[in-house]
Amino acid sequence: MSNGGGVLSSTNHLLDFLEEPIPGVGTYDDFHTIDWVREKCKDRERHRKINAKKKESAWEFTKSLYDAWSGWLVVTLTGLASGALAGLIDISADWLNDIKEGVCLNAMWFNHEQCCWGSNETTFAERDKCPQWKSWAGLILGQEEGPGSYIMNYFMYIYWALSFALLAVLLVKVFAPYACGSGIPEIKTILSGFIIRGYLGKWTLLIKTVTLVLAVASGLSLGKEGPLVHVACCCGNIFSYLFPKYSKNEAKKREVLSAASAAGVSVAFGAPIGGVLFSLEEVSYYFPLKTLWRSFFAALVAAFVLRSINPFGNSRLVLFYVEYHTPWYLFELIPFILLGVFGGLWGSTRFGKYPVLEVIFVAAITAVVAFPNPYTRQNTSELIKELFTDCGPLESSQLCQYRSQMNGSKAFVDASPNKSAGPGVYTAMWQLCLALVFKIIMTIFTFGLKVPAGLFIPSMAIGAIAGRIVGIAVEQLAYYHHDWLVFREWCEVGTDCITPGLYAMVGAAACLGGVTRMTVSLVVIVFELTGGLEYIVPLMAAVMTSKWVGDAFGREGIYESHIRLNGYPFLDAKSEFTHTTLAREVMRPQRSDPPLAVLTQDDLTVEELQVIINETSYNGFPVIVSKESQRLVGFTLRRDITIAIENARRKQEGILLTSRVYFTQHAPTLPADSPRPLKLRSILDMSPFTVTDHTPMEIVVDIFRKLGLRQCLVTHNGRLLGIITKKDILRHMAQLTNQDPDNIMFN
Amino acid sequence: MSNGGGVLSSTNHLLDFLEEPIPGVGTYDDFHTIDWVREKCKDRERHRKINAKKKESAWEFTKSLYDAWSGWLVVTLTGLASGALAGLIDISADWLNDIKEGVCLNAMWFNHEQCCWGSNETTFAERDKCPQWKSWAGLILGQEEGPGSYIMNYFMYIYWALSFALLAVLLVKVFAPYACGSGIPEIKTILSGFIIRGYLGKWTLLIKTVTLVLAVASGLSLGKEGPLVHVACCCGNIFSYLFPKYSKNEAKKREVLSAASAAGVSVAFGAPIGGVLFSLEEVSYYFPLKTLWRSFFAALVAAFVLRSINPFGNSRLVLFYVEYHTPWYLFELIPFILLGVFGGLWGSTRFGKYPVLEVIFVAAITAVVAFPNPYTRQNTSELIKELFTDCGPLESSQLCQYRSQMNGSKAFVDASPNKSAGPGVYTAMWQLCLALVFKIIMTIFTFGLKVPAGLFIPSMAIGAIAGRIVGIAVEQLAYYHHDWLVFREWCEVGTDCITPGLYAMVGAAACLGGVTRMTVSLVVIVFELTGGLEYIVPLMAAVMTSKWVGDAFGREGIYESHIRLNGYPFLDAKSEFTHTTLAREVMRPQRSDPPLAVLTQDDLTVEELQVIINETSYNGFPVIVSKESQRLVGFTLRRDITIAIENARRKQEGILLTSRVYFTQHAPTLPADSPRPLKLRSILDMSPFTVTDHTPMEIVVDIFRKLGLRQCLVTHNGRLLGIITKKDILRHMAQLTNQDPDNIMFN
């Protein structure tokens, strides 16, 4: 194929300095897909170099040790930073949230609870009323009670909520547009091998942290759990710059990001194992076992840092610890499955997408409507906690005001079977129904706003409210109709057989499952959140129902639909390719297209090459032996060719536009007067992936997914026919499902 | 390439019945590797057929529903059966174990504990001494005490142990040789795509269940946990025969087996999440997310069935529940890491391989030595439980006889800081040291015996003994030298700062980690076993140390080394390929080999084809356009060719030895008098995987691992050069690590 040219053979040696890496070759443009195979090869090469050198000197040995440990170091740092930031966010948001209602006179920087800790005159029940804490009405009008102060407090509440929301949206708009939303869809896309520069940078981190606090404190119907994953990934990305092993290799960097996302969920829910499973099931694309182990470590470190900071003053590892006293009965599966259906419907809701100014309206409406209803005014996490909790003798919640308690026998409320709902429960039911409608509407509008916003906690709240309502309804049904067959069978008279808190837990899991379509990781997260290992069957039934219902209505989870709306090139590993098309139907060129742009291995000039590059917009070109044989030699990238030619014309003398370009080992035989040829073998990928034109697309899709390819060449009986890129596959898949293939925007 | 022959074009249509599937094509021989890609394509094809038909009639729709649900059904059945069998094994082994010491007079089928439940004259402390339970000496000699009855009991103990062991080994030898060992290495190999017929069959299941009970009851130093994974996988395999979706597809069957192995670990340790992670981390090869979810379900079902059976009469979900009263201190990391080193050393021990008769000697020695020492005579699980337990005021164990207890203030032993060891502790220390030596030696010899034998529990016991010894040593050190810097810093005088039980737990995890090299799944299993979420850092430190030490000494876990010893073709997904070899250095033929055996697409006769098949032993042959061009058309398997020719000669008239064989779409132009040609296109794989000769082997290995290939063709500039099979890769890897490449025995 290539023959050492007699004239030039002496200069071949001189040209070998070109085998030195050309700066810039092997990097990626913004909004491009990485080549996993190449990245992994680069990393192994680096590893081999370090290994070969390490016996040379003590310094090299130390360097190799540092290199070997840098993986653990970077996940440790990420875990520490994620835990610390999560603690900071929790504390600040809590404080800022209380600012809406009043201020601590002793110390401005105390929140309501901390303010009243010092006060020893208050009883357990009234521990949040203490003289140090002044509501705004108390501070401004000098009186805590009465309609005037209620209106004053209401006004201040709206004022602060609006200020926080406006500040958040402006900060995002001006400084870091990437800081809005939950960030999980983008992180999924990045982990699948896409480049979005700045998405995980320090500015995004800073602004996201600050605005997350503001957004949460503004009382908007959003959660901080999703954005915490983004924050953790920013930490992982920033720390990876300390280690060349990770900063210079996009594939390795994604291992750190996988670990970081595990740490993010770990701090969001206090669920380290759930975090690892979330990273594995939901966000990660390439997840080697080494990453599993490091993710676990990062998740643990983060959880322990957060627990040491102890932002809520209770040293529980479990966020919503529940302890129910009654088992569940088989007939309860019906309401649980209904809750699953509700969760699935919630999961197939379409969320809005709104520009900046809408935030003021949404924040204003949220504040106006939320204030009067205790269940919407309350911090969402606390609401969920209250809804999960079973009514015990010590429970002072309105939800637990059953009739027997009214009759004065307060201490025996739990033992008493007379669980007829008191007026408190009826009030609570109305308020909960209103809160449910409010939360559903506001969450739909809030999620599209340009502020950091997660869906986990609002979804859980919606599910928990619905669940508690259903639970109380079933409980009252069982009380008033204990002669019905189902109840007679299971609920003996005089026993307390329905636990409304369990319904809330099941509903929360169902709604979360409907939105995210998580399964194992969700169940594990709920375990770790609640410590309730006993209720696995109700949880699984509801989560599975919600997933099926969601799939039946919406087909995809919130993250996938967000990815598709943004046109990111994401090849989902979960959805199976079930069509019977062959590679030749997907490859380009099709019959109507211009012929495939190819380079021949040794008879193009620099000028011809530049013409081909300028006239086409392809990201890479196959190199063939000759136009006649169409036998494939390799593949070369547009970016690399441009860089290499520029580099050669700058550094190598005698390279003209008429210089011959060759990709072979030896220069071709040239006429004596021709200018010095340009060797481009170093940028030639001599092991391009090929498939035959008869290969079923399901295999091609599998190869792309599992190996993380950018493109693949198509041959027929050894001749090059065409090329399939990731974008071609995504467009083909969109066409097959009757979607607009032009939605796929990036390569 | 192919031109429709004028003469024969009218018969082409007649030949099309050959496109019907030929019976036998697409199945595998015993001890061969499956082709994952082909299996998955077959399954998608089946799925499409069912989907296309389902709108035809209600019956077809029901069938499609059944098909869609069969995955859940088969894992549910597997979970149920695994749980039930585990319960049965637990109960039987417990009963048979007690038979060695005596018999229940009331009811033969009661074990010691059940026998004494009815007895109400015994106190809590002496609950295992009741008149209904007679030791053998009591039954035969009529006296329970004295040296004569001790010898009698000793003799009976040895007698029963020997009988059980002999019976177990004979049953295995005669009926199911595959029932020996833990089975996990073979299951790993099977899951990676190897066929071992009968390994998961009903005979193996029956014999393994029976002999496992006998082997455990014989008192040999082995565990039932590993074999339970094998039992669960047998259940999975047997149930998969009920569903054609799984029985007819080797790739789909392996999804069921992955779920079954999760169920096995789940019942072995009562650890469903750990079981799923074990399946994911340790045994599975191809683990799609759907399998994750189903594995989780199978693991839960199995755990719940076992808990409902409740074989040990305590309804704890947690097997070795621990509750420690003191935190751990930073300086304790040193002994924990030392325990990790011990675990790593234990993990790099080489275990023996012994023929049948050795079992008698091992069982005899085990029984003779084990009887006098309470720690070796005891059931291993109970020993581990005792070692894990912290000394509380109610603890009557010899290990808790501290000095203060001697002075009569028994109730305050836990509150008292005077934790000077009493004579009981010193006796226990000696006995534990002897038990440690004994367990180590006996486990090394036992694991090679031809009986069902797991290493999990013996390893945990060894680690727990070592840990408890270290723990007591550190505790006494802290007591006698509380003025030392480390102890002065952390252990205030008067407080109890060392928990020997924690050391036992850490030691057990370290030894288990050293043997199996599990990481995340091990830590999660220990969590679920002990409920001790607080001690994650000590556990991780020890497990990681033991893994590193084990890797440094032995390089591979027990399963990998067992796989290698047996020469199974297992391409480990965990070990990275770090060499720089290229595909052309690994492919066959190399320079000294005979040329590659290829078939041309349309100019061979049946006879020539048979000659090629008979003269070579290759499992498949590339098909090329012509000898001159060497352009690749496809690949065809030896087994398929043999079956197709036989089938054609039996069913198709006019096929002679001189018939032309063609793989093209249309028959080649032939002379008018030539016999009818044979079309073999239906057995031609037109999408063989190819790589170029320049492809680095690391990429080739990656492709083989991730796609589950059997072979891959090597081309250079579009021409076929050679072939790389899985066996070639494994031999190449063995050569590179200076091992004997001929160890790899199967294809």
A-proximal residues of B, 286-325, CB under 8 Å: 289, 292-293, 296-297, 300, 304, 317
A393 pLDDT tier (thresholds 50, 70, 90)? low
Residue of A520, A604, A223 lying closest to B300 (CA atoms): A520
Q: What is the pTM of this model?
A: 0.86
Q: How confident is the model at residue B126, as a pLDDT?
A: 55
Q: Closest chain B residue to A709 measured between Cα atoms?
A: B703
- Over 90: is that where the pLDDT of B523 sits? no
Q: Closest chain B residue to A282 measured between Cα atoms?
A: B289
A102, β-bridge pairs: A135
Q: Which residues contact A383 (CB under 8 A, 6 or more apart)?
A: A375, A461, A464, A465
Q: In chain B, what residues touch A281 (CB-CB under 8 Å)? A: 289, 292
Q: How far apart are CA B326 and CA B638, in angstroms?
A: 67
- Over 80: is that where the pLDDT of B35 sits? yes
Burial level of B554, CB count in 10 A (0-12/13-18/19+)?
Answer: buried
Q: How confident is the model at residue B335, as a pLDDT?
A: 92
B-proximal residues of A, 719-738, CB under 8 Å: 719-720
More confident residue, A388 or B405: A388
Q: Closest chain A residue to B626 measured between Cα atoms?
A: A717
> What is the average pLDDT score of chain A?
84
Distance (Å) from the alpha carbon of B691 to chain A's nearest alpha carbon: 7
Q: In chain A, what residues touch B536 (CB-CB under 8 Å)? A: 300, 304
First to last CA, chain B: 33
Q: How confident is the model at residue A469, as a pLDDT?
A: 93
Q: Which of A185-194, B494-503, B593-602, B620-629 has the lowest mean pLDDT?
A: B494-503
**Residue among A273, A540, A630 minimizing CB distance to B524:** A273
Q: How confident is the model at residue B392, as a pLDDT?
A: 67
Q: How far apart are CA B397 and CA A134, in angstroms?
A: 59
Q: Does A708 touch chain B (CB under 8 A)?
A: no
Residue of A308, A312, A315, A306 lying closest to A231 (CA atoms): A306
Q: How confident is the model at residue A609, as a pLDDT?
A: 92
Q: How confident is the model at residue A412, as a pLDDT?
A: 39
Q: Which of A23-27, A158-162, A368-372 has the lowest mean pLDDT?
A: A23-27
Taking an 8 Å cut-off on Cβ atoms, the answer to whether B317 and A533 are in contact is: yes
B692 pLDDT tier (thresholds 50, 70, 90)? very high
Burial level of B122, CB count in 10 A (0-12/13-18/19+)?
Answer: middle
Distance (Å) from the alpha carbon of B551 to chain A's nearest alpha carbon: 14
Mean pLDDT, residues A650-677: 85
Helix (H, G, I), strand (E, B) or coil at B6: coil
Distance (Å) from the alpha carbon of A119 to chain B's nearest alpha carbon: 31
- Over 70: is that where the pLDDT of A125 sits? no
- Which position has the token pair 């071992």? B196
B393 pLDDT tier (thresholds 50, 70, 90)? low
More confident residue, A412 or B734: B734
Distance (Å) from the alpha carbon of B575 to chain A's nearest alpha carbon: 10
Distance (Å) from the alpha carbon of B146 to chain A's nearest alpha carbon: 50
> DSSP per residue over A155-210, as a string?
HHHHHHHHHHHHHHHHHHHHH-GGGSB--HHHHHHHHTTB--TTTTSHHHHHHHHH
- Over 80: is that where the pLDDT of A356 sits? no
Residue of B503, B534, B300 lying closest to B391 (CA atoms): B503
B609 pLDDT tier (thresholds 50, 70, 90)? very high
Q: Please answer whether residues B699 and B691 qualify as being in contact, where contact means their C-beta atoms are separated by less than 8 angstroms.
A: yes
- Over 60: is that where the pLDDT of B744 sits? yes
Q: Closest chain B residue to A48 measured between Cα atoms?
A: B578
| Percent of chain A whose pLDDT exceeds 90 | 30
Q: How confident is the model at residue B415, as a pLDDT?
A: 39
How many interchain CB pairs under 8 A, A with B? 133
Distance (Å) from the alpha carbon of A693 to chain B's nearest alpha carbon: 8
Q: Does B540 touch chain A (CB under 8 A)?
A: yes
More confident residue, B711 or B673: B711
**Residue among B276, B304, B687 minimizing CB distance to A692:** B687
A7 pLDDT tier (thresholds 50, 70, 90)? very low
Taking an 8 Å cut-off on Cβ atoms, the answer to whether A687 and B695 are in contact is: yes
Taking an 8 Å cut-off on Cβ atoms, the answer to whether A533 and B580 are in contact is: no
Q: How confident is the model at residue A306, as a pLDDT?
A: 87
Q: How confident is the model at residue B186, as a pLDDT?
A: 93
Q: Which of B123-127, B273-277, B454-458 has the lowest mean pLDDT?
A: B123-127
Q: In chain B, what residues touch A706 (CB-CB under 8 Å)? A: 706-707
Q: How confident is the model at residue A16, as a pLDDT?
A: 42
Q: Which of A250-264, A509-523, A551-565, B347-361 has the lowest mean pLDDT?
A: B347-361
Q: Closest chain A residue to B296 measured between Cα atoms?
A: A520
Q: What confidence tens digit (pLDDT) does each residue in B189-218 have? A: 999 989 999 999 999 999 999 999 999 999
**Residue among B40, B41, B293 minimizing CB distance to A520:** B293
Q: Does B369 touch chain A (CB under 8 A)?
A: no
Q: Does B686 touch chain A (CB under 8 A)?
A: yes
A-proximal residues of B, 10-39, CB under 8 Å: 37
A-proximal residues of B, 580-639, CB under 8 Å: 580, 583, 625, 629-634
A291 pLDDT tier (thresholds 50, 70, 90)? confident
B-proximal residues of A, 194-223, CB under 8 Å: none
Q: In chain B, what residues touch A304 (CB-CB under 8 Å)? A: 536-537
Distance (Å) from the alpha carbon of A377 to chain B's nearest alpha carbon: 35
**Residue among A292, A576, A707 minimizing CB distance to B706:** A707
Q: Which of B528-532, B594-598, B695-699 has the lowest mean pLDDT?
A: B528-532
- Over 90: is that where the pLDDT of B260 sits? yes
Mean pLDDT, residues A619-642: 91
Flag whether the ipTM exceeds 0.85: no
Taking an 8 Å cut-off on Cβ atoms, the answer to whether A631 and B717 are in contact is: yes
A122 pLDDT tier (thresholds 50, 70, 90)? very low
Q: How confident is the model at residue B78, as a pLDDT?
A: 96
Taking an 8 Å cut-off on Cβ atoms, the answer to whether B719 and A631 are in contact is: yes
**Residue among B51, B520, B696 minimizing CB distance to A687:** B696
Q: What confidence tens digit (pLDDT) does each residue in B494-521 have? A: 566 788 889 999 999 999 999 988 888 8
Taking an 8 Å cut-off on Cβ atoms, the answer to whether B692 and A630 are in contact is: no
Q: How far apart are CA B599 and CA B708, in angstroms?
A: 25
A127 pLDDT tier (thresholds 50, 70, 90)? low
More confident residue, B545 or A421: B545
Mean pLDDT, residues B445-449: 83
Q: What confidence tens digit (pLDDT) does each residue in B54-106 have? A: 888 899 999 888 888 899 999 999 999 999 999 999 889 988 988 888 888 87
Q: How confident is the model at residue B128, as a pLDDT?
A: 59
- Over 80: is that where the pLDDT of A282 sits? yes
Taking an 8 Å cut-off on Cβ atoms, the answer to whether B296 and A707 are in contact is: no
B421, β-bridge pairs: B402
Q: How confident is the model at residue A370, as a pLDDT?
A: 86
Q: In chain A, what residues touch B696 (CB-CB under 8 Å)? A: 41, 687
Distance (Å) from the alpha carbon of A120 to chain B's nearest alpha carbon: 30
Q: Which of A35-39, A638-642, A699-703, B395-399 has the lowest mean pLDDT?
A: B395-399
Q: How confident is the model at residue B551, as a pLDDT?
A: 86
Q: How confident is the model at residue B532, as a pLDDT?
A: 65
Q: What confidence tens digit (pLDDT) does each residue in A413-472 have? A: 443 444 666 777 888 888 899 999 999 998 888 888 888 888 899 999 999 999 999 998
A131 pLDDT tier (thresholds 50, 70, 90)? confident
**Residue among B37, B540, B702 minimizing CB distance to A699:** B37
Q: Does A68 touch chain B (CB under 8 A)?
A: no
**Residue among B51, B273, B632 minimizing CB distance to A717:** B632
CA distances from A355 to A72, A448, A604 (A): 41, 8, 51
Q: Does A525 touch chain B (CB under 8 A)?
A: no
**Residue among A293, A574, A580 minimizing CB distance to B289:** A574
Distance (Å) from the alpha carbon of B355 to chain A's nearest alpha carbon: 37
Q: Does B573 touch chain A (CB under 8 A)?
A: yes
Q: What confidence tens digit (pLDDT) does each residue in B565-585 have? A: 888 888 887 777 888 889 999
**Residue among B631, B634, B699 minimizing CB distance to A41:** B699
- Over 80: is that where the pLDDT of A494 sits? no
Q: What confidence tens digit (pLDDT) does each residue in B274-316 have? A: 899 899 888 888 888 788 889 988 998 898 888 888 776 655 5
Mean pLDDT, residues B508-536: 83
Mean pLDDT, residues B19-41: 80
Paired sense of beta strands B711-716 and B690-692, if any: parallel
Tell me which DSSP letter residue B343 carries: H
Q: What confidence tens digit (pLDDT) does each residue in A46-71 have? A: 888 888 888 888 999 998 888 888 99
| Percent of chain B whose pLDDT exceeds 90 | 30
Q: Which of A376-390, A628-642, B474-488, B657-671 has the lowest mean pLDDT?
A: B474-488
Q: Does B739 touch chain A (CB under 8 A)?
A: no
B394 pLDDT tier (thresholds 50, 70, 90)? low
Taking an 8 Å cut-off on Cβ atoms, the answer to whether B289 and A573 are in contact is: yes
A570 pLDDT tier (thresholds 50, 70, 90)? confident
Taking an 8 Å cut-off on Cβ atoms, the answer to whether A540 and B632 are in contact is: no
Q: What confidence tens digit (pLDDT) does each residue in B327-339 have? A: 788 788 899 999 9
Helix (H, G, I), strand (E, B) or coil at B468: helix
Q: Please answer whether residues B204 and B229 qualify as being in contact, where contact means their C-beta atoms are separated by less than 8 angstroms.
A: no
Whether residue B311 is preceded by a cis peptide bond, meaning omega within 30 degrees of 0, is no
Using only C-alpha atoms, what is the Rg of chain B? 31
A14 pLDDT tier (thresholds 50, 70, 90)? very low
Q: In chain A, what residues touch B717 (CB-CB under 8 Å)? A: 1, 625, 631-633
Q: In chain A, what residues touch B1 (CB-CB under 8 Å)? A: 717
- Over 70: is that where the pLDDT of A314 sits? no
Taking an 8 Å cut-off on Cβ atoms, the answer to whether B520 and A699 are in contact is: no
